[in-house]
Structure 1
Amino acid sequence: MRKPTAKSLILDLLLASKGRPLSAKQAIAACGIFDISVNNTRVALVRLSAEGLIESAGRALYQLTDDAHTLADDVAAWRTRSTRVRQWDGSYIVVQADKLSRSEARQQRARARSLLMLGFQPLNEHLFIRPNNIEDNLETVRVRLYKLGLEKEAPVFQASGFDSTTEHRIATLWNPRELEQNYQQLEKKMRTWLDRFHALEPEVAARESFLLGGTAIKHVVYDPFLPSEWVDVQARKQFLSAVDEVDQAGMRIWNSMWENAES
């Protein structure tokens, strides 16, 4: 669990705030927990504003801009990820994407991020694929991909009937056993922390909840949510339950920190 930068910490706090603005005092207090200086915190606020990621929400108050919300809102929906998984019918969702030039590096990053966040893997240079077991229908998946950065010219469609060799190759694009190990290891770490955080100093508890919760939530955001035919969904369910408990505990800890910072 790496120490966050001032910029990443401020963005993560705004992401977790559910629309509530962040004050400069709160940003300074939070960064101080990670030994980030007041000056570096103020510089980060200025830079985030200049980059169009945050904006003023009042005197010494900041909020995410509309542009930043595009990605942030999808990430913030990690709590409902598991409810958007359905029974797999054996078909796949496929994205066809043309090769981009070096001058289109920004679009390449946006495409890669959107595909990864929805669990797609490359079948070849132009086709990206995943099991068709997320969201209510294909159109919802298509809209999410486009919103997250996939170019709208890229076709998104359902496919099935692959030959046995291709089916086998598709199944090797993910590593279910690694996912299951991550579920178990992270759940164990979170359960251990949940048993002991009450005895920690407030700043230590805040720092640990942020680092541990952030690591776990990142795993949720980028989890492919494979079907039950491929992965132990009970292990995933237990992991997600622990993530939610750490998140709730972390919010209580940080809300207490905010009250002290503003008093």
Structure 2
Amino acid sequence: MQLEKEKKPVARKLLLKLLGSRENIKMNASAAVRVGELFGISENNIRVTLTRLQSARLITLVERGDYKLADKGIRFAKEIHQWREDENELVPWQNDWVVAQTSLLPKSDKKQLRTTERALKLVGMMKLASNMYVRPNNFSGGASEVRDKLHTLGLSGKALVFSANDFDNQTQAKAMKLWSHLDLETLYEVGCSEIEESLARIPTLPLEEATKESYVIGDRALYHLVFDPLLPSPFVDVAMRERYRNLVKKYDDMGAHIWLRFLDQN
């Protein structure tokens, strides 16, 4: 595997993810610099990033020069790790939908538009018609749960979020195809193979190589799960998604152990 071809991670994202990988992780500046070296990030970049994260109250300096997540950073980490519990919130689909109607939102506020687009993407909603986004209604809390998720992610309260269950045949058929371009089952299949191969390979690698590989492959898998729309059957093979998710959990646990070993080096 040619990990060197992977795009260099942003220092801010790298440090926050590592400090948030498990509870009470601590990292001093020297260890942070060694982390940066793995990915070709300069010492100056790492030290400046630590200062900025502390100023933003995402991390805090504790005894003996160690950094750990501050309360704001802990909230960030919990959002990242929500993927571990998402599958537990799902129920069988009853052929109904959650709809977000955004026609009341001002089009001139570009920042809010970007926030809206990201929020809709994170909860798996797709555009069905002008200013109308939908997803299958398969969360246990229904439209209310999706509404709360969207508001937490920054969707304006002016947007209407509700359930619908009586689309005409043409609209229903169109809605059923909205996620087909994502080719999710191929993503799950390829992802399972990549993780299984890495699980077999990592024990044979030197610690530095194992540390880097666990981050690169783990980060890619986590991105897929964070943005997974959590569709029900018949949109996807749910068993295949669960297999992929369980493999990622196993890989994430292994990666956290490897990173602890790396950070504990003198």
Structure 1 vs Structure 2 CA RMSD:
2.1
Deviations 1:51-70 (A, max 9, x none): x2624242544445555555
- 2:168 pairs, out of 163, 170, 194, with 163
Cross-structure match for 1:195 = 200
Identity %: 31
Deviations 1:84-119 (A, max 9, x none): 2111111101111134334x2222222212111110
Q: Match for 1:188: what amino acid? A: S
Shift in Å at residue 40 of structure 1? 1.4
- 1:249 pairs, out of 250, 254, 262, with 254
Indicate yes or no: 2:212 matched with 1:207: yes
Deviates more, 1:157-166 or 1:239-248: 239-248
Indicate yes or no: 2:65 matched with 1:54: no
CA 1:158–1:123 in structure 2 vs 1: closer, same or farther (change >3 Å)?
same
CA 1:129–1:228 in structure 2 vs 1: closer, same or farther (change >3 Å)?
same
Deviates more, 1:143-152 or 1:54-63: 54-63
* d(CA) in 2 for partners of 1:110, 1:132: 22
TM-score, length basis structure 2: 0.89
- 2:32 pairs, out of 27, 30, 42, with 27
Query: Number of matched residues?
Result: 259
Cross-structure match for 2:264 = 259
Spell out the pairing of 1:1-263 with structure 2 (5 A cutoff): 1-18=6-23, 20-50=25-55, 52=56, 54-59=58-63, 60-64=65-69, 66=71, 72-97=77-102, 98-102=104-108, 104-175=109-180, 178-260=183-265, 263=266
Shift in Å at residue 140 of structure 1? 2.2
Deviates more, 1:20-29 or 1:220-229: 20-29
Unpaired segments ≥5 residues, structure 2: 1-5
Q: Match for 1:123: what amino acid? A: L
TM-score, length basis structure 1: 0.90
* d(CA) in 1 for partners of 2:227, 2:200: 27
